[in-house]
Amino acid sequence: MKKKLLIICQYYYPENFRVNDISIDLLKFHYDITVLTGIPNYPKGKFYKGYNYFNKRKEVINGVKVIRLPILPRFNSKLFLFINYISFIITGYIWAIFNKIKFEIVYCYQLSPITMALPGIFIAIKQKIPFILYVTDLWPESLLFAARIKNIFFIKILNKIVNYIYEKSSKILISSKGYKVPISKRIKNLDKIIYWPQYAEEIYKPFIATNSEDQSYLSNKLFTITYTGNIGFAQDFDVLVNAVKLLKEEGLKLKINIVGNGRFLKQLKHLVFTSNISEYFYFLGSKAPFEIPQILYTSDVAYLSLADEILFSYTLPSKFQTYLACGIPILASINGEASRLIKEANCGYSSRAGNSNDLADNIKKMRLLRKSELVKLGLNGLHYSNTHFNKKTLLNKLDYIFQNSKIGII
Res 334: pLDDT: 97
Residue 170 burial (C-beta neighbours within 10 Å; 0-12, 13-18, 19+)? buried
Query: Are residues 222 and 164 part of one domain?
Result: no
Task: Considering only CA atoms, give the Rg of the chain.
Answer: 22
Res 11: pLDDT: 97
Amino acid identity, position 193: I
Which residues, including other chains, have CB under 8 Å from residue 28's CB and lie 6 or more apart?
none
Which residues, including other chains, have CB under 8 Å from residue 112's CB and lie 6 or more apart?
137, 139, 142, 143
CATH number at residue 162: 3.40.50.2000
Query: Are residues 395 and 367 part of one domain?
Result: no
Res 389: pLDDT: 95
**Cα angle for residues 43, 11, 163 (degrees, 5° grid):** 110
What tens-digit pLDDT sequence spans the chain (410 residues)? Answer: 789 999 999 999 999 899 999 999 999 999 999 999 999 999 889 999 999 999 999 999 999 999 999 999 999 788 999 999 999 999 999 999 999 999 999 999 999 999 999 999 999 999 999 999 999 999 998 888 877 777 788 889 999 999 999 999 999 999 999 999 999 999 989 999 999 999 988 899 998 877 655 544 454 479 999 999 999 999 999 999 999 999 999 999 999 999 999 889 999 999 999 999 999 999 999 999 899 999 999 999 999 999 999 889 999 999 999 999 999 999 999 999 999 999 999 999 999 999 999 999 999 999 999 999 999 999 999 999 999 999 999 999 999 999 987 765 44
Torsions phi, psi of 390, nearest 5? -70, 125
Domain that holds residue 326: 212-388
Contact 304, 184 (CB under 8 A): no
Helix (H, G, I), strand (E, B) or coil at 108: strand
Long-range contacts of 19-26 (CB under 8 A, 24+ apart): 19/109, 19/111, 21/201, 22/109, 22/395, 22/398, 23/64, 24/62, 24/63, 24/64, 25/391, 25/395, 26/395, 26/398, 26/399
Query: Are residues 52 and 191 part of one domain?
Result: yes
Query: Are residues 241 and 158 part of one domain?
Result: no
Question: Domain for residue 408, yes or no?
Answer: no
Q: What is the distance of C-alpha 359 from the center of its chain?
A: 23
Question: Domain for residue 204, yes or no?
Answer: no
Cis peptide before 70 (omega within 30 of 0): no
Query: Are residues 220 and 88 part of one domain?
Result: no
Res 408: pLDDT: 55
Question: Domain for residue 333, yes or no?
Answer: yes
- First-to-final CA distance of the chain: 21
Query: Are residues 313 and 275 part of one domain?
Result: yes
Question: Domain for residue 206, yes or no?
Answer: no
Query: Are residues 221 and 177 part of one domain?
Result: no
Query: Are residues 293 and 171 part of one domain?
Result: no
Neighbours of 151 (CB within 10 A): 9
Question: Domain for residue 205, yes or no?
Answer: no
Please choose, from the candidates 58, 63, 14, the residue with its C-alpha nearest in 3D space to the C-alpha of residue 36.
58
Helix (H, G, I), strand (E, B) or coil at 107: strand
Query: Are residues 241 and 123 part of one domain?
Result: no
Q: What is the pTM of this model?
A: 0.88
Which residues, including other chains, have CB under 8 Å from residue 394's CB and lie 6 or more apart?
196, 197, 199
Res 208: pLDDT: 84
Helix (H) or strand (E) holding 285: strand 281-285
Question: Domain for residue 207, yes or no?
Answer: no
Crossing angle of helices 371-388 and 318-325, rounded to 10°: 120
Query: Are residues 235 and 184 part of one domain?
Result: no
C-alpha span between 144 and 150 (Å, rounded): 8
Query: Are residues 38 and 168 part of one domain?
Result: yes
3-state helix, strand, coil in the chain (%, to 5): 45, 15, 35
Number of domains present in the structure of the chain: 2
Question: Domain for residue 97, yes or no?
Answer: yes
Contact 117, 85 (CB under 8 A): no
C-alpha span between 374 and 299 (Å, rounded): 11
DSSP 8-state secondary structure symbol assigned to residue 112:
S
Query: Are residues 270 and 148 part of one domain?
Result: no
Question: Domain for residue 384, yes or no?
Answer: yes
Which residues, including other chains, have CB under 8 Å from residue 101's CB and lie 6 or more apart?
4, 6, 34
